[in-house]
Structure 1
């Protein structure tokens, strides 16, 4: 299903602002709402931060973007179009490493077996020290 159809089926339209915001998230990879705003304003200078927040919420409800907390500041958004992943964040240099969920298969199986629990790993962020900073 294409983007316009997905939005239409949910009772929403693909507005120029939504397209700009989705494109900005795609270009930036991992971005805070302020970073999305700065990128989108390259195409539409009058875009407001409230429009960015509202549309990121809609795009997340539709499963087109996800957010993770990669710092103690604003959430960071990324496109769902690429692979499902979780994040490693270095506390020293703030580098973000995306890791495929296949790495977690043994842990996920153990959590399910022991607790009947299936985590949402797309929101998982592990903080530590990267190889370069160690």
Structure 2
């Protein structure tokens, strides 16, 4: 991880800092995390990291292609590592659970939009609804 991060940072004229390494590791460990969740995770190891460092670093990491974000709520974006396979997100409005699915599940939608000249960013796709547990609880 740190070799890839260091190489990508050097390409952009930036250096590898302990904060950047901690923040990338936090995103990878948390799998889907908001900047505040990343901050809390990092502060568990280094209390001196502040919110602006996390936000700036997440932007840099996204520009480098090491993390991506999607909107899984009406609040802050949620970040995940690009080391994971590309996936779409399914979010339950009841309990807030997030599940990842292979993009093949929306292949016909992507193909139909492609025929109309639209290129879909599947990794940014989030579908909202109600999970089976919440549906059963509401019945």
Report the TM-score range of the alignment, normalised by the length of the smaller protein.
Answer: over 0.9
Q: Which residue of 1 aligns with 2:10?
A: 8
TM-score (norm 1): 0.95
Q: Is 1:64 paired with 2:56?
A: no
Quick one: which of 54, 57, 62 aligns to 1:52?
54
Check if 1:38 corresponds to 2:40. yes
1:109 maps to 2:108: no
Q: Deviations over 1:48-81 (max 9, x none)?
A: 0000000000000111011111111111111111
Tell me which stretches of 4 or more aligned residues in structure 1 moved more than 4 Å.
none
Paired with 1:100 and 1:4, the residues of 2 have a C-alpha distance of: 30
Give the alignment's TM-score, normalised by structure 2. Answer: 0.91
Number of equivalenced pairs: 133
Q: Which residue of 2 aligns with 1:127?
A: 128
- The CA distance in 1 between the partners of 2:66 and 2:130, in whole Å, is 30
Instruction: Report SS of the residue matched to 2:7.
Output: helix
Deviations 1:60-112 (A, max 9, x none): 01110111111111111111111001110001111101111121222111111
